[in-house]
Amino acid sequence: MLTESTTVRREQLATLCLNVARVAMAGGLHGVDALAVVDAVRAIRDALPADAAPAEQEASDAA
């Protein structure tokens, strides 16, 4: 069983995107490079499976 839910991972990846954007806006990263990183992180985030509904999780835990 995973220790972190997919929702937590999605939130962490969204935070990473925001931090990359902040660094780019501060001039620490070229805009094109920042866009490439953000696009890659979004692709990873979109590829994550959806969290199961709580009822489904309880049923699988009981089995």
Model pLDDT, residue 16 = 92
Tell me whether residue 59 is in a domain: no
CB 31 within 8 A of CB 17: no
pTM, entire model? 0.65
Q: Give the other-Cβ count within 10 Å of 20's Cβ.
A: 20
pLDDT beyond 80 at 55: no
pLDDT in tens, 13-48: 999 999 998 999 999 889 899 999 999 998 998 888
Model pLDDT, residue 1 = 47
pLDDT category of residue 59 using cuts at 50, 70 and 90: low
Domain span at 18: 13-46
Total tally of structural domains belonging to the chain: 1
Contacts of 24 (CB under 8 A, 6+ apart): 30, 31, 33, 34
Tell me whether residue 33 is in a domain: yes
